[in-house]
Amino acid sequence: MPYTPELLRAGNSGDKICMASKAIRAKTYAFLAAVSINLLSHTSNIFAFDSLSESDMPLSMEVNGKSISLQNLAFPITKSDQVLSDGASIYIKNCVLCHGDLLDGKGLYSESFYPSPANFLLPQSILSKSKLFTFWRVMKGGLGLPKKYEPWNSAMPSWEGVLTEEQVWKVIHFIYEKSKELSSVTTQDVSVPSIENGEKVYSENCSICHGKKGAGDGPGAKVSSPFPRNFIKGHIKLRSTPFGKIPTDKDLFDAITNGSKGTTMPSWEHLSENDRHSLILYLKTLSKKFAKFVKKGKTHNVVVIPDPPKFTLASLERGKDLFIQNCSACHGIKGRSDGASTKKIVNIATDAIWPRNLSKPWKFRRGDKRKQIFQTLRTGLSLTAMPRFSPRIFKDEQIWDLVNYVQTLSPSQKPKTPEIFNVQKVDGPLPDDTDDPVWKTVDSNFYLLAGQIIQSEKVTYPIIDNVVAKAMHNGKDIAFYLHWDDPTVDPILKKSTTVEESPAPPLPAHLQTDEPEEQPTEELKPQEFPDSIAIQLPTSINDGSEKPYFLNGDPEHPVNLWKWSSHPMKALEMTAKGIMKINVQKDSSQNLTSKASFKYGRYFLLMKRPLTTSDVEIDTQLRPGQTIPIAFNIWNGSAGETGSKKVISSWFDMILE
Amino acid sequence: MHLVSYLLLAVILSPELAISGSLSGTAIFSGKIEQLKPYKTGKYKKACGTDIPNESMLINNKRVGNVVISLHGKKLKKRGGKYKLDQKKCRYEPHVIAVPLDSELKIHTSDPINHNIHTYSFENDPINIMFLPGQDAYSQEMDEAEIIKVECDLHDWMRAWIVVTPNAYSTVSGADGSFEIPDVPPGKYELTAWHETLGSLTKNITVGNDGLNVNFDFLEVPQQEAKR
């Protein structure tokens, strides 16, 4: 079943408009409905969650050994202000990463899971059905879908055992109420922005994360990285003013309107302009810095962004030198957040997050346009280690040199996930190394990964978020090429394979010493948990219509994991029947060979196996021409990822030539 | 004449306040302590020197250096001043600096290599700027009382503390643990001793016309408060 990210994205981009006015919303719904019908006609069940009807609901379900009737259950909890406020907290702690703060299905992971998380604002969403139906779906999740809605690709967790029935009812009441409110935004505009109105808008929309008094300590804060901004200190990250200075009103307006990409802060463009201006007035009362600024008669020193000069190769060369000297200590020489000083500045527990991986400009908070990068360089990012490049030291021309160079560190646009992972057939032996130039001639396939937030121990804000995969076969063996960015290498690999780490910025010649650096006296030790990656394939490939549950299979539909680990360094074949039911196959069944290296914040791995093996019962047998589902799991050991703590992908389709 | 000037004049002319004594004493740690090893600068040898002392605990014969002594009391209005923090031989000079509210702090560099000074400041405007060799000083107004950690994002041993005290009656103990705050008007105050590693002690004191001698022993810091 091919998934259709382009269509889904078209659907998503439609939602934002739907908040603006009823008329546009109606059109959008018509458009979305058309899109959905279109989707359904091509690919059945892509909105597995939404396309169910109430007739699919069983008469009763079993929870904790107790049978609950779904026919005439009285809601055990009735709606009240307290219930709605409890429900909001439960929602923000458990649901927001997928379904989003605005209930529009556009949480952080919305692009990483297929089908996309449900958008509760759509008229055909689950909310058009009874609350009992929703209760069943929340309790049983994607894995509890009726058989005809396989392939169980839905990432919706089963919440029984995690949330109590009472909590589930509270969150359901909240979702129904909030989505009703959000999809009927009447432009009840105040005529003049006021602090009082700002306080009201704040408490209705912002306090759940930013806290009642703006200290960044609302219920959502516990599950946010980066933390929600603490307004009492008066600092925000993206400003037009220099590092450490208070933002202008326009900076605050832009922050509210644009949201913050890659965080749980959505765009609040659907609030009326006067509501947003009211919010600014209110926010400025939360920190005394703004009043002090006025009292002292200060003015904002807004950073001016001139028009960029023409791009030249000479500028690029200068940019490279400037980058290595001034940026590589944190961002690494290839820009993959692996600088020599990086580990020192990162401390997720205190909100000191990783420096941006410059090879993924689609994740730049401010945006990846040249003027936006210029502004980030000139202003710095308050509350982070990112300094500003002050005009006292760097001329505008030098900043443009840097911008030019930074743009060469990444692909010109975000890679698209292909519909089919094509495995080319070649004659003769397969390459033994990822360095082999033949890989340059092979299609590369980009897959997004998301934190495992479905079962058991979870990962909420992983640093690893995609993998690039290539493959070829020669009729006998298949070779996979994989690379993924991880800013820290398992040190033990330095003993056994190629490891290249970003050096500290070079010293001027007269300050360099010839003496070798003192060798670390301690012996290289492996990380507590290894860095690992696994390719997942169904153990049995039938006609491709019945896929195992995407999260490591299920008892009736096992999967194979080809898992490479940094320590002990090898690749092993495993059989899994669920996320906590993964077993290494016995020695005589192991057929994988692998070769890994680490270069400047990126792991490279080659894995090979014969297409077919003698273990026909337990091993995936790969045959050309078949559509083979493939998925990926990655563990970042240095971040404590092990077992169910990992990043995961949905199923994708692979075909061997 | 401006009201403030009248007040100022009143303060200067007040006979009670004109008499003032000196507050002096010594900061010690009477417990056992392990001497910290200096950092090795490795490849930065030529730029920084081979060793950099670990100044987070300078104790000589039980006497504690780098302790910020600050006096707290509503009457104490004297503020302001000009202060200097240098980046020299890959350390901050001084390692601990006490600056009164409304002071101007000038940050310099004397080093032949880049430094990135980063202040973990929340009440005052934080600083995060790159210093290239030979660069002009950078001035910052300190207008909120705060203990500010300073680090260089490029050299992990580099650390300093800027302590913005509520008034000008503050000082930093010398290597022999001794300190002196001159010209303290008689009265009742709180006197605080703060050390980056050992923690913080506060005493209620009464300063007479001929001053006062106060000693601090950091062994008295309650265990859970000491960062040791």
pLDDT per position as a tens digit, B209-222: 888 999 999 999 98
pLDDT-based confidence at residue A84 (cuts at 50, 70, 90): very high
- Its CATH class, for the domain covering A420-504+524-656, is mainly beta
Give the pLDDT of residue B2: 58
Q: What are B24's two structure tokens?
A: 């002096």
Q: Average model confidence (pLDDT) for chain A?
A: 87
Model pLDDT, residue A55: 81
Is A571:A603 a contact under the CB 8 Å cutoff? no
Residue A216 has pLDDT above 80, yes or no: yes
* Per-residue model confidence (pLDDT) at position A151: 57
Neighbours of A372 (CB within 10 A): 17
Min Cα–Cα distance to chain B from A358, Å: 19
DSSP A347: B
Asked if A313-407 and A420-504+524-656 have one fold, the answer is no
Residue of chain B with shortest Cα separation from A339: B154
Query: Domain map of chain A by residue range?
Result: 5-182, 195-295, 313-407, 420-504+524-656
B34 CB near a chain A CB, below 8 Å? no
Q: Do A244 and B44 touch (CB under 8 A)?
A: no
Q: Which CATH superfamily is A313-407 part of?
A: Cytochrome c-like domain (1.10.760.10)
Contact between A341 and B129 using a beta-carbon 8 Å cutoff: no
Give percent above pLDDT 70 in chain A. Answer: 89
Exposed / middle / buried, residue A418 (Cβ in 10 Å: 0-12, 13-18, 19+): middle
Report d(CA A203, CA A213) in Å as an integer: 9
| pLDDT tens digits, one per residue of A143-198 | 888 777 765 678 888 899 889 999 999 999 999 999 988 887 665 666 799 999 99
Q: Per-residue pLDDT tens for B174-222?
A: 999 999 999 999 999 999 999 999 999 999 999 998 889 999 999 999 8
Averaged pLDDT, B82-101: 97
| Chain B residues close to A393, C-beta within 8 Å | 130, 132, 135
Contact A153, A237 (CB under 8 A): no
DSSP H or E stretch at residue B179: strand B178-184
User: Nearest residue of A to residue B155 by CA position?
Assistant: A341
Per-residue pLDDT tens over the stretch A95-146: 999 999 999 999 999 888 888 898 998 888 877 888 888 999 999 888 888 7
d(CA B178, CA B192): 14
| Closest residue in chain A to residue B128, using alpha carbons only | A387
8 A C-beta contact, residue A354 and residue A360: no
| B44 interaction partners in chain A (CB closer than 8 Å) | 507, 511
Please state the pTM of the whole predicted model: 0.85
Mean pLDDT of chain B: 88
Q: Which amino acid is residue A565, in one-letter code? A: S
Is domain A195-295 annotated with CATH 3.20.20.70? no
Residues composing chain A? 657
Read off the pLDDT band of A23 (50, 70, 90). very low
Q: Which residues contact A246 (CB under 8 A, 6 or more apart)?
A: A234, A235, A239, A287, A289, A290, A293, A300
> For residue A538, what is the enclosing H or E element?
strand A532-538
From B216's Cα to the closest Cα of chain A, the distance in A is 32
Give the percent of chain B with pLDDT over 90.
69
Domain ranges for chain B, please list them: 21-220
Q: Provide the CB-side half-sphere exposure for A321 (13 A, CA).
A: 8
What distance in Å separates the CA atoms of residue A110 and residue A252, rounded to the nearest whole number? 26
Q: How far apart are CA A2 and CA A398, in angstroms?
A: 47
Lowest mean pLDDT among A265-269, A453-457, A515-519, A580-584: A515-519
Q: What are phi and psi of B182, to 5 degrees?
A: -80, 165
Asked if B153 lies within 8 A of A326 by C-beta distance, the reply is: no
Of A530, A500, A512, A515, the closest CA to residue A598 belongs to: A500
Instruction: State the pLDDT at residue A15.
Output: 35
One CATH from 3.40.50.150, 2.60.40.420, 2.40.160.150, 3.30.70.1400 for B21-220: 2.60.40.420
Residue linked to tokens 């202040």: B119
Say if the Cβ atoms of A512 and B43 lie within 8 Å: yes
Q: What is the pLDDT of residue A33?
A: 40
Least trusted range by pLDDT, from A104-108, A451-455, A521-525, B8-12? B8-12
Beta strands, E only, A552-644:
559-566, 569-576, 582-584, 593-599, 602-610, 627-635
Determine the 3-state secondary structure of A419 from DSSP: coil
Q: How many CA atoms lie within 13 A of A218 on its CB side?
A: 28
Could you tell me the two tokens for B28?
Answer: 């010690």
Residue with tokens 């005493």: B203
Given CB atoms, is B47 within the 8 Å cutoff of chain A? Answer: yes
ipTM over 0.85: no
Chain-centroid distance of CA A584 in Å reads 29
**A563: β partners:** A534, A572
Predicted local distance difference test score (pLDDT) of residue A130: 85
Measured over all CA atoms, what is the biggest interatomic distance in chain B, rounded to whole angstroms?
62
Residue B132 contacts A where some CB pair is shorter than 8 Å: yes
pLDDT value of residue A8: 35
